[in-house]
Structure 1
Amino acid sequence: MGMSARGRRREIVELAHTTGLASVEELSQRFEVTASTIRRDLARLTSEGKIARTYGGAMALSGRVGESTFRQRNQEAAEAKRAMARLAVGMVDDGDTVLLDAGSSVAALAVELRDRVTVSVATSSLVVVEELADADDIHVECLGGTLRHQSQGFVGPLAEAALERMTADKVFLGADGVAPGAICEADQRQTRLKEMMCARAHRIVVLADATKLGHAPFHAWALLPEGWTLVTDDSATEEQLRPFRDAGVDVHVAGVEAAVAPE
């Protein structure tokens, strides 16, 4: 007799916490049941608050109680964010139009962009606007909309309407959690805006330090199309990075020591 449904679901939770990520296909093969059975298991475990669903699988909930403020996030992994920003700015070419998402990692990139005088920036981030307000040679467009105080970013119909009139060479996104095919946020208005940004840009770059990889602190998700780029920091382990590389994600790892070395 095979494993009971209760035992299978218990092991699924353990796997999600151990490996960080688990796909429907892998779970189906492991437990020798159909993919539809696994999907029902995942739906039940999600409703019970034991895991978070991703597109195509499941991941462990990180246990965060609530969304932290931008100021709090800006103080977390500061050296890693600086390193990622210095790496990511090298992906911006002269004459580019770039979309900048809200978030502390993307705000760090805005600091690095101040010297790129031939770049145009469109952003949903109040912090980015403030950072570039006195960079006279950078053309800045603000999407506008409803301000989310927690993220210091604009969301909603007005921001979405502004995006519909734009295209960009690159978009740089932040995230509360990252899976190989999607990014996690606290608010569905944020995830909708991120998906629209992806649709308006030729290249998609996600800035996420190692603590974000394989974690799902919330239940709102934005799908990422194939061929996107991940920029993370060098505290990420190979076990964390392998699912992304296996999914065809272009992975770039920033060295933190190089970013904080004295000039």
Structure 2
Amino acid sequence: MSIGARQRRDDIVLLAHTSGLTSVEELSARFDVTASTIRRDLARLTSEGKIARTYGGAMALTGNGGESTFRQRNQEAAAAKRAMARLARTLVHDGESILLDAGSSVAALAVELQHDISLTVATTSLAVLEELADVDAIHVECLGGTLRHPSQGFVGPLAEAALERMTFDRVFLGADGVAVDSICEADLQQTRLKEMMCRQAHEVVVLADASKLGAAPFHAWAKLPEGWTLVTDDSATEEQLEPFRKAGVEVAVATVAPVVPAARES
């Protein structure tokens, strides 16, 4: 490999860490090479575990062998997650039985469920349990199992055994990456449990901000059923959303409220 190519790949990794998402076209123009060359660079860096592929570009890998902690995720795209949670709340109806996955986007939905609704909520999420613990109108079931510290969620045979005994009107899932027919996670136990969740629910809803669309940061995948619903935010481009719509996915886009600067004191 030439020195130029090595330096270019090092610079791509640096950009992924400092700028987040970077498109193939932008990288091609920056380094004055073809898009095909950039795609080969991204493929190599992904195989080496230095970056994660996204729709059309790359992002940095962080945290526990590439997986960020729940606290880190909770701070990422916070406004988008709140907007998605408000939109997802409109899909929930009084008296239903719903299943809430682990993850920061789904935890944001739990916050929206705290008022004026009577539900049965089953969950694998410590964060959801914390949000709903004092809500008298909501009957809470904890699936239990083995705690995964990065996601603050339960997985494993005990969670699976509990899940087999329950059915739900709908399930709300989080994901590290989303394709038209599957979702990506860091761990095979997570993806196995998510597939079971889909089987036990009449409707499947995935909450994923725009950075997750087309992303494949890890190698574990869970298949999604036909007719699922994607809730994302309005920074998603039409290029990102088109494959989902073409595949028959119901797409709901949440409007993120603009940040209003604080008034200065005179």
TM-score range, shorter chain: 0.7 to 0.9
Written as runs of structure 1 = structure 2, the 5 A alignment for 1:188-227 is: 188-227=188-227
1:115 paired to 2:115:
yes
In the aligned structure 1, how far is the partner of 2:153 from the partner of 2:136? 22
The percent of aligned pairs where both chains have the same amino acid is 71
* Native 8 Å contact 1:116 1:138 kept in 2: no
Structure 1 residue runs without a partner (length 5+): 1-16, 20-43
1:51-79 per-residue CA deviation (whole Å, 9 max, x = no partner) reads 999xxxx9876441410000000000000
1:229 paired to 2:229:
yes
In the aligned structure 2, how far is the partner of 1:216 from the partner of 1:161? 29
In the aligned structure 1, how far is the partner of 2:60 from the partner of 2:76? 17
Structure 2 residue runs without a partner (length 5+): 1-22, 26-42, 262-266
Counterpart of 1:105, as a letter, is S
* Native 8 Å contact 1:62 1:216 kept in 2: no
> Residues 72 and 249 (structure 1 numbering): CA distance in 2 closer, same or farther, change over 3 Å?
same
Q: SS of the residue aligned with 1:122? A: strand
1:11-67 per-residue CA deviation (whole Å, 9 max, x = no partner) reads xxxxxx749xxxxxxxxxxxxxxxxxxxxxxxx9899559999xxxx9876441410
TM-score, normalised to structure 1's length? Answer: 0.76
In the aligned structure 1, how far is the partner of 2:259 from the partner of 2:143? 31
* Native 8 Å contact 2:180 2:243 kept in 1: yes
* Native 8 Å contact 2:46 2:52 kept in 1: no
Who is 1:99 aligned against? 99
Counterpart of 2:188, as a letter, is Q
Who is 2:251 aligned against? 251
Who is 1:64 aligned against? 61
Who is 1:238 aligned against? 238
1:153-206 per-residue CA deviation (whole Å, 9 max, x = no partner) reads 000000000000000000000000000010000111111110000000000000
Residue 259 of structure 1 deviates from its aligned partner by 10
Residue 84 of structure 1 deviates from its aligned partner by 0.3
1:134 paired to 2:158:
no
* Native 8 Å contact 1:177 1:214 kept in 2: yes
In the aligned structure 2, how far is the partner of 1:108 from the partner of 1:166? 23
1:151 paired to 2:145:
no
> Residues 176 and 137 (structure 1 numbering): CA distance in 2 closer, same or farther, change over 3 Å?
same
In the aligned structure 2, how far is the partner of 1:224 from the partner of 1:72? 26
Count, aligned residues: 218
1:182 paired to 2:179:
no
Counterpart of 2:120, as a letter, is S
* Native 8 Å contact 1:233 1:256 kept in 2: yes
Q: Structure 1 residue runs of 4+, over 2 Å off?
A: 44-53, 58-63, 258-261
